[in-house]
Amino acid sequence: MIKSLLPKHLKQLEAVGEKLRLARLRRRLSAAQLAERVGVTLPTLRRVERGDPSVSFGAYASVLFSLGLGADLEKLAQDDELGRKLQDAQLTVRRRAPRRSPSS
């Protein structure tokens, strides 16, 4: 069962679906042709293009690869600014012991 997404996140998924639909249309592919290439049913492809959150991530990825946009998939979470800030906040700074004076 999928937990409810925030409206903001649903809009982002819808925007991704719309971008995929436009990419398909620019390539002059019918929905049936792309669904066959991807290996999903036509209703599943339509759900991807609507940004349906219940569709598997694998289906979205397959559509990207089939449209020649696989490199875009590598850009996901590329710059994890929040993660780096959280990691840096947990780092401890080690202090060196003071140097001993040389004994004569």
* Residue 16 belongs to a domain: no
* Residue 19 belongs to a domain: no
* Residue 15 belongs to a domain: no
Identify whether the C-beta of residue 66 lies closer than 8 Å to the C-beta of residue 37: yes
How far apart, in whole angstroms, are the C-alpha atoms of residue 37 and residue 69? 14
For 62, the domain range is 28-72
* Residue 21 belongs to a domain: no
Tens digits of pLDDT across the chain (104 residues): 466 889 999 999 999 999 999 999 999 999 999 999 999 999 999 999 999 999 999 999 999 999 999 998 888 878 888 888 888 887 666 777 777 877 65
Total domains in the fold of the chain: 1
Give the global pTM. Answer: 0.74
Alpha helices in 1-104 (DSSP H): 7-26, 31-38, 42-50, 57-66, 70-74, 81-90
* Residue 12 belongs to a domain: no
How far apart, in whole angstroms, are the C-alpha atoms of residue 1 and residue 79? 29
**Does residue 23 sit in helix, strand or coil?**
helix
